[in-house]
């Protein structure tokens, strides 16, 4: 469940970025700042998701061996 919660957070960040990226494409500089900040957040959330899934797989593998 934790993986799905993190995945939903990641999708919410992407959805929130859409407006700012579109505005930045039209030349709104402030939207570019918000978009870059959102992309950094997206990167952080994606890193957390990767780490979580690796840890879960590692733990599951260890439990199988026991």
Q: What is the pLDDT of residues 17-42, one digit of tens each?
A: 999 999 999 999 999 999 999 999 99
Predicted pLDDT at 3 = 95
The residue-averaged pLDDT of 44-51 equals 96
**Domain interval for residue 39:** 2-65
Predicted pLDDT at 31 = 97
What's the domain count of the chain?
A: 1
The label of the residue with tokens 């439990």 reads 63
Q: Which residues of 30-54 are buried (b: 16+ CB within 10 A; e: fewer)?
A: ebeebbeebeeebeebeeebeeeee
Predicted pLDDT at 27 = 96
| pTM assigned to the model | 0.83
Take residue 14 and report the two structure tokens written for it.
């992407």
Predicted pLDDT at 65 = 84
């Amino acid at each position: 469940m934790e993986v799905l919660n993190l995945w939903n957070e990641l999708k919410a960040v992407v959805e929130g970025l859409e407006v700012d990226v579109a505005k930045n494409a039209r030349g709104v500089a402030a939207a570019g700042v918000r978009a870059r900040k959102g992309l950094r957040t997206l990167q952080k959330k994606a890193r957390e998701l990767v780490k979580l899934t690796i840890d879960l797989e590692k733990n599951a593998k260890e439990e199988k061996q026991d």
